[in-house]
Amino acid sequence: MNGDVPIGWLGINGLLNEDRTVYLKMAVLLPDFQGYGFGTAAIHELVCGLKQREIRKIILYTDRDNSIAQACYKKCGFKIADSLIETMSNGRIIPRYKMEAYL
């Protein structure tokens, strides 16, 4: 938060999954706040909260050309688990990475 204004958003799916695996579906930081460690801090805080909930693994998908996000995720313990091609709903084909972190 910057005062009362959010500077970014994180979205998680799967908190009730029996296999204790969740999906980081959204990690967005406004451009003016990128490059200062806020994203890394937010993900570290999220990981701490997920550990308290006894979550075992986090999975996310990121575009292969998004090296800035990948660097942040790697700092937070994520590793590339798979390389894939996804066809988006608009027909666009996007090369992506599946990244995972074990807690």
Would you tell me which CATH number, out of the four given (3.40.50.300, 1.10.10.10, 3.90.226.30, 3.40.630.30), belongs to the domain 8-102? 3.40.630.30
Other beta carbons within 10 Å of 13: 12
Sheet holding 57-63, edge to edge: 8-13, 21-29, 57-63, 93-102, 79-87
pLDDT digits (tens, 9 = 90+) for 21-74: 999 999 999 999 999 999 999 999 999 999 999 999 999 999 999 999 999 999
Contact yes or no for 47/78 (Cβ under 8 A) = no
Give residue 20's pLDDT band: very low, low, confident or very high (50, 70, 90).
very high
Give pTM, 2 decimals. Answer: 0.92
